[in-house]
Amino acid sequence: MTRANGGEPAAGERRAGPLIITEDLALLDDLLRLCAAAGADPQVHHAVPEDRGSWEGAPLVLVGDDAAARCRGATRRRGVLLVGHDQDDPQVWRRAVEIGADCVLRLPDAEGWLVDRIADVAEGVGRPALTVGVIGGRGGAGASTLACALAVTAAREGRRTMLVDGDPLGGGLDVLLGGEQSKGRRWPDFAASRGRVAGGALEESLPSAHGLRVLSWDRGDSVVIPPEAMRSVLAAARRRGGVVVVDLARRVDEGVAEALAQLDLGLLVVPGELRAVAAARRVAMTAGMVLGDLRVVVRGPYASGLDEQWVAEALELPLAGELPVEAGLLADLDGGVPPGAVPRGPLARFCSAFWERALADGGAP
């Protein structure tokens, strides 16, 4: 719901759901089911509510065929939908015009579209999350470490943050966060996802660690994530706003290609050595076919004659920065302290500077 001061609802606060007007119990059952699927809490009335604010202030009004006559004379407004089951009713468009409905929906044919529409108003779709992908130029480049540090830093600075593990062979980002025992859903639970996933339901279902939500893997057999599932999950994550960080596999299959297509920018992590640059060139060429904004993060130590500028020029990519060495990182990990968790550490400072620049360029708040 919109606050009196005009601000947006606080994180985790549910917005007002649609207003349903019907006495048709079969239709009401269907509409309540669709609202539940969209994560919305509706109001239900048999006619236009006496309280004008309920009619005028509802983000969406679903008027049943049986209630159209009772809604004549109500204040004209946007977001009124006339809904019913009868596919062959010749008078339905006349009734829609009489109540000023935006459109006419017939169930069950329009269920998918209506769930999307209800979910939009329930979630208050606004500016999408700034979505950043991290990919290693070669194995062991440090991409997962950087992805984790970016997410931990963003959450510590007060941003709504989701960390998505897009590499089934990476060992699990929940392990890096020390949250492998935390309860919540993992990728195998979403592998069969089709269509729309409600952003709020996704966020609430995931394990929480260090102020962020993480979608990682369980300890079972590797699961292939179809591109449809990757599309649904990342779209839901983006709708929540804030920032989304995706740790990507180096091998670009259909699922990774779908993830790349939803990124605002990508970071290619490359150690400062010739073989790593050669390997990273192949990764950059493949990822660059899908992702328009790919930047390089270079990690030392450097081979003789190399520095971060040389690596960026060799890859023909913009330089996002030099990933600093953080003394004691392995010891911190063994002690349950994830990358980026030390606020004044070099890695956290690097990530803070990155977010400041990225968000200043027009990203999510």
Q: Give the mean model confidence (pLDDT) for residues 233-242.
A: 88
Q: How confident is the model at residue 283 (pLDDT cuts 50, 70, 90)?
A: very high
Count of Cβ atoms closer than 10 Å to residue 92 Cβ: 18
pLDDT digits (tens, 9 = 90+) for 299-357: 999 999 999 999 999 999 999 999 998 888 888 888 889 999 999 999 999 999 999 99
- Residue 76 tokens, joined: 């004209």
Residue 216 in this model has a pLDDT that exceeds 90: yes
| pTM of the predicted structure, to 2 decimals | 0.73
- pLDDT band of 364, cuts 50, 70, 90: very low
Farthest CA pair distance, the chain: 82
**pLDDT for residue 202:** 87
Question: How does the average pLDDT of the chain come out, rounded?
Answer: 88
With a pLDDT cut of 90, the percent of the chain lying above it is: 62
Nearest to 272 by CA among 314, 300, 304: 300
Indicate the pairing of strand 265-271 with strand 294-299.
parallel
Q: Give the CA dihedral 274, 136, 287, 318, nearest 10 degrees.
A: -70
In this predicted structure, the answer to whether residue 233 has a pLDDT above a threshold of 60 is yes
Amino acid at residue number 219: R
Residue type, 215: L
Which pLDDT value is given to residue 15? 55
Cis status of the peptide bond prior to 301, with omega within 30 of 0: yes
Mean pLDDT of 244-270: 93
Phi first, then psi, for residue 95 (nearest 5°) are -65, -35
Q: What is the pLDDT of residues 108-128, one digit of tens each?
A: 999 988 987 888 777 765 678
The rounded distance, in Å, linking the Cα atoms of 312 and 176 is 28
Q: Which residues of 329-343 are buried (b: 16+ CB within 10 A; e: fewer)?
A: beebbeeebbbbbbe
Least confident of 14-23, 63-72, 122-131, 332-341: 122-131
Residue 154 near residue 355, CB atoms below 8 Å:
yes
pLDDT at residue 5 tops 60:
no
The gap between the terminal CA atoms of the chain, to the nearest Å, is: 20
Q: What pLDDT score does 200 carry?
A: 80
CA–CA dist 133, 259 (Å, integer):
8
Angle (deg, nearest 10), helices 143-156 and 346-360:
70
User: Which one, of 220, 243, 19, 241, lies nearest residue 152 by Cα?
Assistant: 243
Phi, psi of 176 (to 5 degrees): -60, -35
Question: Over the stretch 171-190, which tens digit does the pLDDT of each residue have?
Answer: 789 888 988 888 899 998 88
Residue-level pLDDT at 291: 92
pLDDT band at 72 (very low <50, low <70, confident <90, very high): very high
Average pLDDT over residues 206-211: 94
Record the tokens describing residue 108, joined without a space.
Answer: 């069950």
Phi, psi angles (nearest 5°) of residue 88: -120, 25
Contact 16, 57 (CB under 8 A): yes
Identity at 93, one-letter amino acid code: W
pLDDT (0 to 100) of residue 318: 97
Query: By C-alpha distance, which of 44, 37, 49 is closest to 22?
Result: 44
